[in-house]
Amino acid sequence: MDVDIRKLFSERLMLMRRQKNLTQENLANILDVSKGAISKYEKGTASPSYKILWRLADYFNVSVDYLIGKSNSFSGDRYEDAFISQLKQNFEEMKDEDKKQLLKILRIIDSDKSKLPSILKILEKDGDEFINLFKLIDNDFEKIIPILSMDEEEREKVFQILKLLR
């Protein structure tokens, strides 16, 4: 690896390790390498073997191309990359107020990742009702948070009320 690639690899490795709340020692045990090897990879003073690159890509669920800086895509899936590019473009085209609302939603989700499965389940099952409710409460996501903690039966009652209000 040349110096720039090694630096980018080092930064990405450290970032992914920290995102998973792993110590260098934890990651070393997972990959069956020494803690010193992980330290050298992150400092950019050593490069991993192909075998270790594959293990890292598998463990962090990213492509090897992403690890070495050939791609900025985690997955290497061109359809997923196209979708993400479209999302970025849509975001750039949004009004500033809409951007602020979307970022607010993402920050709320990010601050309590335990709510994400609940949100996804609601969107999958009751996506249209959820969107209508969201519009009804003036796009204030914080007002929806209590609904996320309701059981399915209680949430269904809220959606029934919503239908009556339309």
Q: Which pLDDT tens digit goes with each residue over 65-74?
A: 888 888 776 6
What is the pLDDT, as a whole number, of residue 157?
A: 81
Q: Rounded to two decimals, what is the model's pTM?
A: 0.48
Which string of b and e fits 64-91 if b means at least 16 CB within 10 Å? eebbbbeeebbeeeeeeeeeeeeeeeee
**Rounded Cα distance, 76 and 65, in Å:** 7
Which string of b and e fits 17-39 if b means at least 16 CB within 10 Å? beeeebebeebbeebebeeebbe
What's the chain's Rg over C-alpha atoms? 21
Over range 7-28, report the average pLDDT. Answer: 93
Topology classification of domain 3-68: 434 Repressor (Amino-terminal Domain) (1.10.260)
Number of residues in the chain: 166
Burial of 59 (0-12, 13-18, 19+ CB in 10 A): middle
Q: Where in the chain is the domain with CATH 1.10.260.40?
A: 3-68
**Rounded Cα distance, 144 and 6, in Å:** 44
Cβ–Cβ < 8 Å for 42, 13? yes
pLDDT in tens, 49-64: 999 999 999 998 888 8
